[in-house]
């Protein structure tokens, strides 16, 4: 196993129920699971990392997740295959940050600098996020229930036929990290 090819992916269902100890619950029925990616002519091939592979590599699940998150952070910073774009502008009736065009996009929900990066671009302190499918993450200013409902409603229309659906549940993005909206900090 090449640890430089480890990446976290958000999944609704574990690849194997016996792997629950390897998963990090994220909220809304989603978990972060470590996969090993291999490049092919058709794009990355994702293979979930098993408990046996971790043991053989001498890694704990926590260490594997840390390595995968470090790799994701480097990928998000430097790889042009991940699209990160602002749609709309500050002051527009609708504006948000869209991570897309790559299977690792939704996992960017776990990036340690997601709040700071999004706050700088969106010019808002209160932020929400949603991961409607594997290939997208939407971060937007939290302007209250009506705006949240508007954004999620539009995403439900746009993402209705997504190949790898995840969740329309909302997350709160803060300096302390990400948690399901309305959930108390632990």
Q: How many CB atoms lie within 10 A of CB 149?
A: 11
End-to-end, the C-alpha distance of the chain in Å comes to: 34
Q: How many CB atoms lie within 10 A of CB 95?
A: 17
Residue where a domain stops, chosen among 78, 112, 136: 78
Q: Are residues 92 and 157 in the same domain?
A: yes
Does residue 185 lie in a domain region?
A: no
Q: Are residues 53 and 100 in the same domain?
A: no
Six token digits for residue 176: 């302390």
Residue where a domain stops, chosen among 33, 52, 78: 78
Q: β-strands 30-40, 24-27: how paired?
A: antiparallel
Q: Are residues 90 and 168 in the same domain?
A: yes
- pLDDT over 60 at 186, yes or no: no
pLDDT in tens, 20-34: 888 999 999 999 999
Residue where a domain stops, chosen among 60, 78, 96: 78
pLDDT in tens, 88-140: 988 898 999 999 988 999 999 999 999 999 999 999 999 999 999 999 999 99
What local confidence, expressed as pLDDT, does residue 184 receive? Answer: 56
Q: Are residues 175 and 162 in the same domain?
A: yes
Q: Are residues 74 and 89 in the same domain?
A: no
pLDDT in tens, 147-174: 999 999 999 999 888 888 999 999 999 9
Q: Are residues 87 and 176 in the same domain?
A: yes
Q: Are residues 72 and 25 in the same domain?
A: yes
- pLDDT over 90 at 71, yes or no: yes
Q: Are residues 139 and 170 in the same domain?
A: yes
Sign of CA dihedral 165, 171, 174, 176: negative
Q: Are residues 73 and 120 in the same domain?
A: no
Six token digits for residue 89: 């502008």
Does residue 170 lie in a domain region?
A: yes
Q: Are residues 8 and 60 in the same domain?
A: yes
Q: Are residues 171 and 109 in the same domain?
A: yes
Number of domains in the chain: 2
Helix (H, G, I), strand (E, B) or coil at 168: coil
- Tell me the residue range of the domain where 16 lies: 3-78
Q: Are residues 21 and 92 in the same domain?
A: no
Does residue 29 lie in a domain region?
A: yes
- In DSSP terms, 138 is beta-bridged to 98, 130
Rounded Cα distance between 142 and 127, Å, is 5
């Amino acid at each position: 196993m090449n640890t430089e090819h480890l990446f976290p992916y958000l999944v609704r269902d574990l690849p194997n129920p016996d792997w629950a100890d390897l998963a990090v619950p994220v909220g809304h029925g989603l978990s972060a699971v470590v996969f090993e990616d291999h490049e092919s002519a058709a794009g990355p091939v994702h293979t979930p990392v098993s408990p046996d592979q971790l043991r053989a590599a001498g890694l704990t699940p926590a260490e594997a997740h840390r390595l995968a998150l470090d790799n994701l952070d480097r990928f998000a910073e430097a790889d042009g295959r991940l699209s990160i774009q602002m749609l709309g502008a500050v002051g527009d009736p609708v504006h948000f940050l869209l991570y897309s065009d790559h299977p690792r996009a939704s996992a960017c929900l776990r990036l340690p600098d997601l709040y700071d990066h999004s706050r700088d671009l969106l010019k808002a302190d209160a932020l929400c996020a949603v991961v409607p499918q594997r290939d997208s993450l939407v971060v937007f200013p939290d302007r209250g229930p009506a705006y949240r409902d508007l954004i999620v409603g539009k995403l439900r229309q746009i993402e209705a036929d997504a190949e790898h659906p995840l969740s329309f549940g909302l997350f709160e993005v803060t300096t302390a990290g990400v948690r399901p909206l309305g959930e108390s900090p632990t």
